[in-house]
Structure 1
Amino acid sequence: MDSTSAAVAGAVTFVWLGMVLGISFLEAPLKFRAPGVTIPIGLGIGRIVFRALNIAEAVLAVAVIAAVATGGPSTAVVVLTAAAVAVLFGQLAFIRPGLNKRSNAVLAGEDPALRRSRAHLYYVAAEIVKVLLLVALGSAVLAAA
C-alpha cells in the first residue's frame, strides 16, 4: 500500500475507533449514572448522540474505503475494511431499527421493563467486533506503509 494512502487510512481508522470507544463504551453507559438522568432523558440524549455518531461513522467509512481503494492494498486490508463496513451497515440496517422502536415506546410512556429487547446486546456485540476490526485494520494499513 502506498504510504500516503496508508497514512490517511490509518488516521481515519483510528479516529473512527476513538469515536466508537468514546461514545459507545464511555458516554453511553456513564450518562445513566449522572444524577437526575432518567431513562427517558438518557434515551433521548442517546438517540441524538448515536445518530450523530453513526453519520460520522458512515463518512469515516467512506473515507477509509477511498484511501484503501487508491492505495494498492493487500488482501488483508481489503477484507478488514469490508468487514468493518459490513458491521457498521448491519448495525444501521438491522439492529438500530429495533433499538429505535424500543426507545420510541419508552419515550411514549411505556415501562422499559415491559419492552425488554436483545437488540441492545446485539448492538454492543457488534461494537466489540467493530472495535477489534478497526484496531486490526489501522494496524494493518500502518504496517503496510
Structure 2
Amino acid sequence: MDAASAATAAVAFVWLGMVLAISFLEAPLKFRAPGVTLPLGLGIGRLVFRALNRVELLLAATVAATVFAGDVRAAVMAPAAVALALLAVQLLLIRPSLNRRSDRVLAGEDLPRSHAHVFYIAAEVVKVLALLALGIRGLMN
C-alpha cells in the first residue's frame, strides 16, 4: 500500500465516523432531550451541520487530492467519486431547501415534514456506504 492509499483510507474513515456520529447519532437524539423544542433543535442542528459540512468539504478535498496523487484503481476511484458527488448534491441541492424550510419554522410557521429531509437522509446512507467502501478499498490498494 502506498502513502496516498493509506491517506485516502484514513481520511475516508475519519469522514465516515463524523457522518455516523452527527447524522445518525446526534441529530436524532437532540430532539429527544428534555426541554429541546423544535426551534431549539433546528437552531442547534443548523450550527452542527454547517460545521460538519465545512469539515466534510476539507475531507472531500483531501480525498480528491490523495486519490489523484496516488496510483489508485477504479475500485478506489468509484466510491470516492460517489462520496464527493453526494456531498455536492447535499450542499448544492438539498441543504438550501432544508435551510429555507427551517427559516420558516423558526419564524413560527407550522409545516409538514419535508421530502428534502428524506432525500438528505437517503444521501447520507449512500454516502456512508461509499465512505466505508472507499476506506476498505484504500487499505487494499
TM-score, scaled relative to structure 2: 0.97
Contiguous gaps of at least 5 residues in structure 1: none
Aligned length: 141
Tell me which amino acid in the other structure corresponds to 1:128.
V
TM-score, scaled relative to structure 1: 0.95
Q: Distance in 2 between matches of 1:130 and 1:116?
A: 22
Q: Distance in 1 between matches of 2:7 and 2:71?
A: 13
Alignment match, 2:109: 110
User: Which residue of 121, 126, 133 maps to 1:124?
Assistant: 121
Q: How many angstroms does 1:3 deviate by?
A: 1.5
Q: How many angstroms does 1:115 deviate by?
A: 4.0
Alignment match, 1:34: 33
Where 1:36 maps in the other structure, the secondary structure is coil
Tell me which amino acid in the other structure corresponds to 1:99.
L
RMSD of aligned alpha carbons: 0.9
Tell me which amino acid in the other structure corresponds to 1:57.
E
Q: Distance in 2 between matches of 1:25 and 1:19?
A: 10
Instruction: Tell me if 1:76 matches 2:97.
Output: no
Deviation per residue, 1:30-74 (Å, 9 max, x gap) = 000000000000000000000000000010000011111111110
Tell me which amino acid in the other structure corresponds to 2:33.
A
Moved more, 52-61 or 75-84: 75-84
Q: Distance in 1 between matches of 2:140 and 2:71?
A: 14
Contiguous gaps of at least 5 residues in structure 2: none
**Kept after mapping to 2: 8 A contact 1:5/1:67:** yes
**Kept after mapping to 2: 8 A contact 1:17/1:135:** yes
Matches within 5 A, 1:1-145: 2-111=1-110, 114-144=111-141
Instruction: After the TM superposition, list the runs of 4 or more consecutive aligned residues in structure 1 that deviate by more than 6 angstroms.
Output: none
Tell me which amino acid in the other structure corresponds to 2:140.
A
